[in-house]
Chain A
Amino acid sequence: MDELIPQHSGLLADFIDACPFPLILCDSQGKILRTNTRLQDLLGLLQIPEDRPEKLFPESCQVRIEKTLQDQSAAFEIRHEVSGRFLKLTLAPILSRDQVLAFFDDQTEQEQAALRMRSNASELERARLQTQEAEAQLAQSEKMALLGQLVAGIAHEINTPIGSINSNNDILIRSVGKMRDFLNCPQCPAPVREDPEVVKIMGILEDINRNNRIACDRIINIIRSLRTFARLDESERKRVNIHEGIDSSLVLVHHQLKNRVEVLKEYGDLPEILCFPHQLNQVFLNILVNAEQAMPVKGTLTIKTLREGDTVLVRISDTGVGIPEENLKKIFDPGFTTKGVSVGTGLGLSICHKIIQDHRGKIAVDSEVGKGTTFTITLPVQ
């Protein structure tokens, strides 16, 4: 290569050879005039093209070399495709000779270390998020299990006294009926039958008995729903009619819906499905509570169920405020909430998502701001 360097350049050639950095001398066209052993070491087994650096480096190098000759030194980073090395290239023009010295600094290790660090950091972050999510879900499911036990325990405790009251009320109704029969029979003296006090008391007794019957029925219905909802006696997979679960969840939100939200049930003919009933009930309750909170003034809640081949579809729609599109994507993310600390934990829907996933089902949301939101749950029958 010596002959490529014009006269009086012995010093430059010596410099290039002696330089402890990988180095190339090229002309203004990028034709390699001289390299040193350091560069050959750097690029290892690679064959260095004898003529043009653009064979060694990308096209843009040529432009840079020309630019360097005009604007003085420049530094840039390139990746040598064949060896995969990541190199920092510093160009230094020798203006008097119209040549360029290119110093190479191998930054592959640093680059790889940085990459590894970045990927470690993001893995760490992912792991941290996963741990956080798992912890939150564990806490939530522990809370739900505890609540379920509490609910089942209370329901069981109330069962005996309400059973007794209910039966006593029935006895009172029968007794008052017998008294009424006696008053109406011919043997009963008319003054007794027509005594205003007797008439008044009989009327009151019949009224409060009727009233108590309605009250008892309602308590019994609530207890039945609580038990159906908690279903603690059924920790294993079971075949159930999910309408029972939806209805029991509806009873639990009834006090928040009444006089404000109209509930429309469009139940299809569903087969019993194999599931963890108390988990699914948790999903139904969650969506119902969300729907209720989305309709602060008035609205309609529509629950539609239908069978589609081997799956069962549950569609819960509200006519509430709706969810903006940017939030829709994050709605199943753990910790995402728009309700503020005191209202929601932001865990409800992420847990719903997990429960439905565990059931090999799907949960989807569709919403329009100002019109309402629809959750669609698809569950396999088996």
Chain B
Amino acid sequence: MPESDITILLVDDEEMVLTSIRSFLAIETDYNVHTFTSPVKALLELERLNIDLVISDYLMPDMDGITFLGKVKDKRPQVPRILLTGYADKENAIKAINDVGLYQYIEKPWNNDDLKLIIRNGLEKTILLRSLEEKIREVERAQMELMEVQKRIFRIFA
């Protein structure tokens, strides 16, 4: 799956963080990145967009990152969710990670290489799941065709 087919949703109330990560991903990858300063708006967009991975800040004014990622899980359970946290809320974040079932958390200030690796690994999981679903669908289709052929054969010999 080419990187240009991948869409990432990035949420942080700080515009500067969005700019930094968006710029980094733009220079190093071909991912499509959608950024939001409000998790509430991001949730609305989630309905429209076909998202492959979500990254969210923890402390935000209108909704905290854990709640946001929990809602993302409800809507798109297959999409890997990554939490970006400051050190001060690390312990709460770790507790929440277990509740919401996050793929990873990244500590601020983050390292770009680590970020890229975590995103890539997270996507690999989705891609694998997606291709598994694809394979299952293919198998189902083949089975249907097979049954169709079988019916025709029955008709011929009936």
Choose the segment among A18-26, A56-64, A153-161 that binds chain B (4+ C-beta atoms closer than 8 Å): A153-161
A164-B19 contact, Cβ under 8 Å, with A159-B87, A159-B108, A227-B87: yes
User: Which residue of chain B has the shortest Cβ distance to A168 in the bound complex?
Assistant: B20
What 0/1 readout, one digit per residue, does chain A (124-167) give for beta carbons within 8 Å of chain B?
A: 00000000000000000000000000001001100111111011
Out of A168, A175, A227, name the residue touching B88 (CB < 8 Å): A227
Which residues of the other chain, B, contact A166 by a CB distance below 8 angstroms? Answer: 109
A160 touches B108 (CB 8 A): yes
Interface positions, chain B 20-78, Cβ under 8 Å from A, are 20-21, 23-24, 27-28
Q: Which residues of A contact B24 (CB under 8 A)?
A: 167, 170-171, 174
Q: Which residues of A contact B150 (CB under 8 A)?
A: none
Contact B88 A174 (CB under 8 A): no
Pick from B19, B23, B28, B88: contact of A233, CB under 8 Å: B88
CB-based nearest A residue for B12: A160
User: How many B residues have CB within 8 A of the partner chain?
Assistant: 20
A164 to B88, Cβ gap below 8 A? Answer: no
Separation in Å of the A124 CB from the closest CB of chain B? 46
Chain A nearest CB, measured from B43 CB (Å): 22
List chain B residues, Cβ under 8 A from A175.
27
B158 at the interface (CB under 8 A from A): no
A167/B21 in contact, CB under 8 A: yes
Give bound CA distance, A164 to B91, whole Å: 22
With A171-B112, A233-B88, A233-B91 known as contacts, the answer to whether A178 contacts B16 (CB < 8 A) is no
A154 to chain B minimum Cβ distance, whole angstroms, is 11
Once bound together, how far apart are the Cα atoms of A45 and B111, in whole Å?
94
Contacts of A12-52 to chain B: CB distance below 8 A:
none
Whether the pair A163, B88 counts as a contact (CB closer than 8 A) is no
Say whether A220 faces chain B, with CB atoms less than 8 Å apart.
yes
Whether the pair A159, B86 counts as a contact (CB closer than 8 A) is yes
Contact bitstring B96-134, A, C-beta under 8 A = 1, else 0: 000000000000111010000000000000000000000
Neighbouring B residues of A155 by C-beta, 8 Å: 87-88
Question: Could you say which of B87, B89, B91, B112 contacts A167, with CB atoms under 8 Å apart?
Answer: B112
Q: CB-CB contacts of A205-236 with B at 8 A, as 1s and 0s?
A: 00000000000000010011001000011000
- Find out whether the CB atom of A160 lies under 8 angstroms from the CB atom of B91: no
B19 contacts across to A, CB distance below 8 A: 164
In whole angstroms, how far apart are the Cα atoms of A155 and B87 in the complex? 9
Within the complex, the shortest CB–CB distance from B10 to chain A, in Å, comes to: 13
Interface size on A, residues (CB 8 A): 23
Bound complex: CA A152 to CA B88 (Å): 8
Q: Is B17 engaged at the interface, CB distance under 8 Å to the other chain?
A: yes
Does the CB pair A160–B88 fall under 8 Å?
no
Kindly state whether residue B138 has any CB partner on chain A within 8 Å: no
Name B17's contact: one of A156, A163, A174, A220 (CB within 8 Å): A163
A9 to B113 Cα, complex, angstroms: 120
- When the two chains form their complex, are residues A161 and B16 in contact, meaning their CB atoms are under 8 A apart? yes
Closest Cβ neighbor of B16 among chain A residues: A164
Interface bits A287-331 vs B (CB < 8 Å: 1, else 0): 000000000000000000000000000000000000000000000
A170 to B113, CA, bound (A): 9
Within A184-216, which residues are at the interface with B (CB < 8 Å)?
none
Tell me if B14 is interfacial: C-beta within 8 Å of chain A: yes
Give the A-binding residues of B (Cβ under 8 A): 14, 16-17, 19-21, 23-24, 27-28, 86-91, 108-110, 112
The 5 A-B pairs with the shortest beta carbon distances in the complex, nearest first, are A163-B109, A167-B20, A164-B16, A163-B108, A164-B20
Q: 20 pairs across A/B with beta carbons < 8 Å?
A: A156-B86, A159-B108, A160-B14, A163-B108, A164-B14, A164-B19, A164-B20, A167-B21, A167-B24, A167-B110, A168-B20, A170-B24, A171-B27, A174-B24, A174-B27, A174-B28, A223-B109, A227-B87, A233-B90, A233-B91
